[in-house]
Amino acid sequence: MTSSIYFIHAITPLHAGIGQAAGDIDLPIARERATRLPYLPGSSLKGALRARSDETVVQKLFGPNTANASDHAGSVQFSDSRLLFFPVRSLYGIFAYVTSPFLIRRFLRDAKDAATAQVTLPIEDEPGPGECLVSSSSVLRHQSGPVWLEDLRLQAARPISADRFDSVARAIEIPDLAKRVCIVSDDALSFFVETATEVTARIRLDSERLTVEQGGLWYEEALPAESVLTGLVQTRSLRKGEQDIISAKTAFDKLRVLIDGQKVVQLGGKATVGRGVCRVFVERGAE
């Protein structure tokens, strides 16, 4: 089996919905049950890549169509995409890529499981209540002043070496990542992901009167543009009887070629209104 880490960088707001809900937001995003952190189901990425592949690649990487589903499984397995960096507006530097010790440790655990040594993040220090950690080259504060994210005033406790973010910055092709990263406490992160998602009011007009139809107002939630999610991808060798269908390494190489050739992929719902335009990257894994 070949395994690696993959990244999703949202170019436009990303709506991975769960259908209608009874709360203030009619169409909320999917959240993990225990942590309440937003996530994107692995089936969303698999389905998007499958739809844009030729039939030969589909059969070997993602499995046969429904009518022949009993022939063999697919070679590629995607985990759910879990949050790594959450964009939050900032008084200085426009916005911050916010993360927390919990998100970093979970990412490092996945990287270790994937035997991927190319990506790492700093986690030696943890911010206390009302504190944050930013790099020595951060644009999120003025001189030695505090960091203002949404309505929170955070004191930068100590600088983090900017080069500690280089491997992830290269992986997701965001050169200024270190300048915008802000590590906050897990409690502060929970506050941001509950209150700083993008909520949009949508209306449906009566085509003749050009007024809002009865019941034609609803609210949709989305992960903001610039969100970064990450997950595990594995490929395994396939056999059908005595016949070798594809090796794990060949499947992984084909998957990388497929993703590299996509440029951007539409994920989640609301595609016709520009939601879910994302870049996808796969790190080179180890067998």
For 216-271, the pLDDT digits (tens) are 888 999 999 999 999 999 988 887 766 677 888 888 888 888 888 888 999 999 99
Mean pLDDT of all residues in the chain?
88
Amino acid identity at 81: S
- At 156, the pLDDT band (50, 70, 90 cuts) reads very high
- Beta-carbon neighbour count of residue 148 at 10 Å? 17
Q: Would you give the end-to-end CA distance of the chain in angstroms?
A: 6
Is 124 strand, coil or helix?
A: coil
The residue length of the chain stands at 287
Q: Report DSSP state, residue 12.
A: S
Phi and psi (nearest 5°) for 9?
-115, 115
CA distance 30 to 141: 32
Q: 3 CB contacts (<8 Å, ≥6 apart)?
A: 113, 114, 115, 116, 232, 233, 234, 235, 285, 286
The first and second tokens of residue 223, run together, are 């992960």
Q: 115 CB contacts (<8 Å, ≥6 apart)?
A: 3, 285, 286
What number is the average pLDDT over the span 80-109?
A: 96
For 20-60, the pLDDT digits (tens) are 776 788 899 999 999 999 999 999 999 898 887 777 777 77
Q: Report DSSP state, residue 79.
A: P
The confidence score (pLDDT) of residue 144 equals 87
Higher per-residue pLDDT: 231 or 119: 231
- At 287, the pLDDT band (50, 70, 90 cuts) reads very low
Is 269 strand, coil or helix?
A: coil
